[in-house]
Amino acid sequence: MNFSLKAKFLLAAAGLTLAISGYIFLIQKEAAEMGLLMRQVVSNNLLAVQTASEIKHSFVFYDDLIFRFVSTGDAALLGESERVREKALLEIGRLKTLSDSPTLRDLLKNLEKESRQYFHDAQRLVQFYHLNQFPGETSVLKAIAWAQQAAKNKQSLSLLSAEGRARLTRIYSLCESLVDIHRVQMEEAQKQVNRILRKSSRHTRWAGAAVFLGTMLIGVLLMLSILTPIRALLSGVQRIVGGDMNFEIPSPGKDEIGRLTQAFNSMTQKLREKHRQLLEQTITDALTGVHNFRHFQEVLKSELERAHRHKRNLALLLLDIDHFKKYNDTHGHEMGNVILRTVAQVLRETLRPEDTLARYGGEEFVVLLAEADRTQGEIVAERLRLAVESCQFPGQETQPGGHISISLGGACFPQDSQVAKGLIEKADKALYASKNAGRNRFLWVPAY
C-alpha cells in the first residue's frame, strides 16, 4: 500500500504511543504503590524518629536550664525552661499521632507519665531553691530559724534531685526505645520498598525490551520508505557541518521532506546570524560596547607584525577617567556605568574607523593608532581629551573642576618599544606621569 509520508508517521506515532503508554502505565502503577508505602510508613516513621530525638533533646535542655538556674539564680532561665517544657509536651502529643501499635502506645503512656512527674519534681526543685535563699537583713532568731529549715530543705532537695535524675534516665530510655522501634518499622518498610523495586525492575526490563523491539521495527519500515530523500538531505547537512555555512540544501519537493529541508535551510540562516553575533560578543566589552582587551591584544600583535614588516610607525594611547572612584562613591555604580558607556561612545565617535578602541579594565581604555607617529598620536590624544572634557555628563558638577576629564599616556613603535608588552608598559608609565602632573592631560612615556 502506498501511504504518504505523513500517514506513515501517523501510523508509527500511533503504534509508539500505544507501546509507550502501556510502558508508562506499568511504571506509574509500581511507582504509585511504592510511593504510597513510602508516604504511609517510611515518612511517618522517619518523622517519629526525629520527634522522639527532639523530645530527648528537650529534656536534656530543660534539665540543663533548671541546673543553671539553681546554680546562678538567673530568672530568665526559668522562662526559657517553661518554653522548653511546653515544646516537649507538644512533641509527645505529636508522637502519639504517629504511633499506632499497642507497644508504642504503652511506651508513650509511660513517657507521658514520667514526663509530667519529672516536670512536677523540677518545679519543686525551683521552690526549694526559693525557700533556701537567705532572707537578707533580718534578726538573729530569724536567721537561726532559716538555717534550721535550710538544713531540712537541703536534705529534701538532695533526695528530690536523686529521684529526678533516675526519672530522667528512664525518660531517656523510653525515648531511645521509641526511636529503635520506629527504626525497625522503617527498615521493614524499606525491605518492602526494595521488593517492589525488584519487581518493578523486572517489569520495566520486559516492557522496555518490547518497546525497543517495536520501535526498531517501526524505524526500519520508515527508513525503507524515506531513505532516498534523506540521503540527499544528509549530503547537504555534511557540507554545512564541514563549514560551508552559506550552502543551502535544494528542496526535493513540497512534501514533508521538502518542508523539513526548507526548515533546515532557515535554521542554517539563523545559525549564521547567531555565529556572527557570538563572534561579535567574544570581542566586545558587554558594558561599553567597545572591543575587549583580549581582542585588542590580538589586533596589537597583528599590527605590530605589519609595522615590523613595512617599517611603519604605530602609536598606543592608554587613558583613564579622572577621579572615577569619587564619582562612583558619590553617585553609585549605576551612574558610574553611565559615565563609562558615555565616555566610550565619545571616544569611538572621535576616533577614525581604522583606529582600534578597547576597554583596558575598570575605567581605563586603550587606543591603537595604526601608522601614527608621535606628532599624529599627540594630536589624536588631545582631540580625545577635549572631546571628553567638553561633553556634558550627569553629576559632573560634583567632580574636581566641575567636569569629567581623562588623563592619557602614550608610547610609540619603534621608538619606545618594539613588542606589545613593552608598549603597554611604557604607555602605562606615561599615564601614571600624566596623573601625577595634575590629570586632564596627555604625556608620552617619560625619559626615565
Which long-range CB contacts under 8 A does 151-159 form with residues at least 24 apart? 153/128, 156/128, 157/125, 157/128, 157/132
Give the Cβ contact number of residue 64 at 10 Å: 13
Say if residue 334's pLDDT is above 80: yes
Residue closest to 82 by CA, chosen among 119, 130, 136: 119
The domain boundary residue, chosen from 179, 207, 235:
207
For residues 299 and 435, state if they share a domain.
yes
CB 423 within 8 A of CB 416: yes
For residues 330 and 383, state if they share a domain.
yes
For residues 295 and 199, state if they share a domain.
no
In a domain? residue 270: yes
Residue closest to 372 by CA, chosen among 389, 386, 360, 384: 384
Residue given cell 557540507 in the structure block: 239
- Average pLDDT value for residue range 200-223: 71
Q: Choose between 417 and 40: higher pLDDT.
A: 417
For residues 345 and 403, state if they share a domain.
yes
- pLDDT averaged over every residue in the chain: 78
Q: Choose between 387 and 110: higher pLDDT.
A: 387
pLDDT above 70 covers what percent of the chain? 74
CB 77 within 8 A of CB 68: yes
Q: Choose between 302 and 24: higher pLDDT.
A: 302
Confidence grade of residue 140 (pLDDT, cut at 50, 70, 90): very low
For residues 271 and 298, state if they share a domain.
no
- Average pLDDT value for residue range 336-342: 94
What pLDDT is attached to residue 67? 74
Say if residue 149's pLDDT is above 70: no
Residue given cell 595604526 in the structure block: 370
Output the pTM of the full model.
Answer: 0.44
CATH number at residue 69: 1.20.1440.210
Say if residue 157's pLDDT is above 50: no
For residues 195 and 254, state if they share a domain.
no
In a domain? residue 226: no
Domain with 131 in it: 5-207
For residues 158 and 201, state if they share a domain.
yes
Q: Report helix, strand or coil for 119.
A: helix
CATH number at residue 329: 3.30.70.270
Q: Choose between 295 and 76: higher pLDDT.
A: 295
Cα angle 7-12-17, degrees, rounded to a multiple of 5: 125
The domain boundary residue, chosen from 207, 232, 262:
207
What pLDDT is attached to residue 152? 47
What pLDDT is attached to residue 224? 63
What is the number of domains present in the chain? 3
DSSP label at residue 400: G
Whether a cis peptide bond, with omega within 30° of 0, leads into 414 is: yes
Q: Choose between 37 and 417: higher pLDDT.
A: 417
Q: Choose between 308 and 179: higher pLDDT.
A: 308
Residue closest to 341 by CA, chosen among 390, 284, 300: 284
State how far the alpha carbon of 440 is from the alpha carbons of 7, 204, 383, in Å. 76, 76, 12
pLDDT above 90 covers what percent of the chain? 32
C-alpha cell read off for 425: 608598559
For the stretch 51-78, pLDDT in tens is 878 877 887 777 777 777 777 777 788 7
Say if residue 138's pLDDT is above 60: no
- Average pLDDT value for residue range 275-295: 82
